[in-house]
Amino acid sequence: MSTIKLGDKAPNFDAETSEGKINFYEYLGDSWGILFSHPADYTPVCTTELGAAAKYKDEFAKRNVKVMALSVDGVESHKAWIKDINETQHTEVNFPIIADEDKKVSNLYDMIHPNASDTLTVRSVYVIAPDKSIKLMITYPASTGRNFEELLRVIDSLQLTANYKVATPANWKHGEEVVISPSISNEDATKMFPKGFKEVKSYLRLTPQPNLD
């Protein structure tokens, strides 16, 4: 069993998918990645989630994110289910779904939690940076569909904090003030953040989001 932690290198794999055989790293290229698992095909919550992910195509493209889904059902099942998703969710699934019948990828990414279900994958999400490091892991129960706005919000935060010495506060959204990393002195902060900053406490300094005009 795998024990993936934040900062680890995302394991690479070859897998059968609804779009043919894919090597994960080749698929990702230099993009960011989201790998997310589903309990099973032809289930209601999963149907809405895959439809929702498909509708965020432009938002993922803007952020240079490639998406890949997974369930332990087979390729033919995925292909037939995709038709249902397209029909019922009024979209077109535009990313591959791994057919992980032998649970190779599920085990590699620790997506089966035996005390929840021996056989089905839970709703795991991994966000992977272009250097293939794992930046986010979230696990939801089968009964709760994911919030894709939250995934976009975290990716915005990750992409911002990869380039600036800032972090994003509670409930932050793109465009709002960010906090300056405590390791930066006020003198350096003045140079790094020309829009200025507010010092609420010595350890809590707010500045406008630095990558916006």
Q: In angstroms, what is the minimal distance from the CB of 49 to ligand BEZ?
A: 7
Name the DSSP class of 10: P
Kindly list the residues in this chain that would bind ligand BEZ in the complex (CB under 6 A).
39-40, 43-46, 142-143
Taking the least distance from each CB to ligand BEZ, the nearer of 71 and 209 is 71
Q: In angstroms, what is the minimal distance from the CB of 47 to ligand BEZ?
A: 7
DSSP string, 16-46: EETTEEEEHHHHHTTSEEEEEE-S-SS-HHH
Catalytic: 48?
no
Q: In angstroms, what is the minimal distance from the CB of 124 to ligand BEZ?
A: 13
Taking the least distance from each CB to ligand BEZ, the nearer of 45 and 206 is 45
Taking the least distance from each CB to ligand BEZ, the nearer of 36 and 193 is 36
Q: Is 105 exposed, middle or buried (0-12, 13-18, 19+ CB in 10 A)?
A: buried
Query: Reduced to 3 states, what is the DSSP secondary structure of residue 173?
Result: coil
Q: Of 35, 46, 72, 97, which is the active-site residue?
A: 46
Taking the least distance from each CB to ligand BEZ, the nearer of 81 and 109 is 81
Q: In angstroms, what is the minimal distance from the CB of 42 to ligand BEZ?
A: 9
Say which residue the tokens 């959204």 belong to.
Answer: 173
* 34 closest CA partner among 136, 128, 141: 128
* 205 closest CA partner among 178, 173, 187: 178
Q: Which residues are catalytic?
A: 46
